[in-house]
Amino acid sequence: MTIWDARHETMAREQLRALQLERLQDMLARVYERVPFYRERLRAAGVAPGDVRSLADVRRLPFTTKSDFREQYPFGMFAVPVDEVVEIHSSSGTTGKPVVAGFTRRDLDTWAELVCRIAVMAGVHADDVAQISFGYGMFTGGFGLHYGLQRAGAAVVPISAGNTARQLQFMRDFGSTVLIATPSYALHLAEAIARHATPKAFKLRLGMFGAEACSEELRRRIESRVSMRATDNYGLTEVIGPGVSGECECRSGMHIAEDHFLVEVVDPTTDEPVAEGETGELVFTSMTRECSPVLRYRTRDLCSVTTERCACGRTLARMGKIVGRTDDMFIISGVNIFPSAVESVLFAIEGVEPYYQIVLERTGAMDTFEVQVEVTEAIFNGWMDDLRAFEQRVTEQLRSALLVRPKVKLVEPGTLERTEGKAKRVIDRRQR
């Protein structure tokens, strides 16, 4: 197992903390001087950059949220003048103004370096052919992986998302060994490969998935359709894009680039830190970004973080799978439910295809919770009685895991929408 940047990835934690403090202090001084938005926030919180003398003092600093980014659209959070900016990205943002983040030349270098780290961590070598099926464009996914994989020495195929027939043609003809995609699109591609006339002609061996949650069950489903090993990788535009964290070959959590990003896990309701290993909201401070540094960014992503040493030898903390986004969670009959919990139950059931959608509706004062699930051809076209019994079984398993009884609707394979990017799992029609 190769470690790209052994100096930082295996740094003694004591030493890492010293580096973090130094970088945090430097970043604070910079944003205080250069970004009026942060200067006002810090003043309002009654803290001057010099007040931060230990890492624990980070808790005295104000949080930054997605709406702050939107209000500062487009360049209000930039800490450098436009002549130092060499690239600008923005995240999709389903509502309101988009989030914008800029990169200086050094930011691009850092980004390439951090994505290269997670690529090498996943097992990418210089002789790999890496097909990037993340969308290119304003989304950080495509370009981030592009820069990082090139640095790792891979031959990059910048095909972007979509056009499955062409994806398969190049994948086979170029002998692509690494696939970069959202797990939803990877599943779609894997199924297309499995159906292909010559599935043996494909050389995929490694998947680097990211941008959305991938349950263990979904990962297994994809890996069983094409024989590759896939890693989970996490990132977000506000922090840098991909490269924030990724799984090593041990696949027991994603190593966070803590030398660049200070991580906290807080209780989303009290804002207090949770104990190590407990689940809470991830909060990141990007200490080295020149153009778009962010102070205590509230990701709304829920997961746990451990600093226990990993078998790979890296000392960087690991975050678990994202169990949900605070804005993804829905409430039915007073029970909080994350789509990931529904997914884990469904994908563990034999006969269920890895496609589902949750539909929430309000009839009168009652909320209805429907789960539409694709099942295999054999089940769908089997005896009606068997289909009912199967539906019952799925309903019962969901009920016992979620403590709420959904209405399960089994549908034919191929019914639900396929996606090239992030899947939309929940349709909430309850808003009046």
Query: Considering the rule CB under 5 A, would residue 248 count as an interface residue with Zn ion?
Result: yes
Kindly tell me which residue out of 118, 121, 236, 294 binds ligand ADP, with binding defined by CB under 6 A.
Answer: 236
- Pairwise CA distance, residues 121 & 231, whole Å: 9
Of Zn ion, ligand ADP, none, which one does residue 233 interact with (CB within 5 to 8 Å by kind)? ligand ADP
Kindly tell me which residue out of 322, 360, 398, 408 binds ligand ADP, with binding defined by CB under 6 A.
Answer: 322
- Say how far residue 254 (Cα) sits from the centre of its chain: 10
What DSSP string describes 344-361?
HHHHTSTTEEEEEEEEEE
Shortest CB 311 distance to ligand ADP, Å: 21
Closest CA to 203 of 230, 220, 181, 178: 178
Closest CA to 256 of 222, 226, 284, 224: 284
Query: Considering the rule CB under 6 A, would residue 167 count as an interface residue with ligand ADP?
Result: no
Strand ranges for 34-84 from DSSP E: none
Cβ neighbours, 10 Å, residue 113: 18
> Considering CB under 6 A, how many residues would be counted as binding ligand ADP?
18
Kindly tell me which residue out of 129, 193, 211, 379 binds ligand ADP, with binding defined by CB under 6 A.
Answer: 211
Query: Considering the rule CB under 6 A, would residue 93 count as an interface residue with ligand ADP?
Result: yes
Specify burial of residue 77 (Cβ count, 10 A radius: 0-12, 13-18, 19+): buried
> Interface with ligand ADP by CB under 6 A: which range of 114-122, 230-238, 262-270, 369-377?
230-238
193 vs 213, beta carbon nearer ligand ADP: 213
N residues, the chain: 432
334 to each of 72, 179, 331, 404, how far by Cα in Å?
36, 41, 6, 9
Binding mask 284-303 for ligand ADP (x = CB under 6 A): ---------------x-x--
Shortest CB 91 distance to Zn ion, Å: 28
Binding mask 183-222 for Zn ion (x = CB under 5 A): ----------------------------------------
Shortest CB 140 distance to ligand ADP, Å: 6
Q: Which residue has the tokens 């089940």?
A: 379
Closest CA to 9 of 58, 285, 1, 288: 1
Specify burial of residue 150 (Cβ count, 10 A radius: 0-12, 13-18, 19+): middle
Q: Which residue has the tokens 């309903």?
A: 395
> Considering CB under 5 A, how many residues would be counted as binding Zn ion?
5
21 vs 248, beta carbon nearer Zn ion: 248
Q: Are 262 and 55 in contact (CB under 8 A)?
A: yes
Of Zn ion, ligand ADP, none, which one does residue 93 interact with (CB within 5 to 8 Å by kind)? ligand ADP
Query: Considering the rule CB under 6 A, would residue 231 count as an interface residue with ligand ADP?
Result: no
Query: Considering the rule CB under 6 A, would residue 212 count as an interface residue with ligand ADP?
Result: yes
Binding mask 293-312 for Zn ion (x = CB under 5 A): -----------------x-x
Q: Give the DSSP H or E segment for 223.
A: helix 216-225
Kindly tell me which residue out of 20, 131, 184, 237 binds ligand ADP, with binding defined by CB under 6 A.
Answer: 237
Shortest CB 400 distance to ligand ADP, Å: 25
Given the rule CB under 6 A, which residues bind ligand ADP? 91-93, 139, 210-213, 232-237, 299, 301, 322, 325
Given the rule CB under 5 A, which residues bind Zn ion? 248, 250, 310, 312, 314
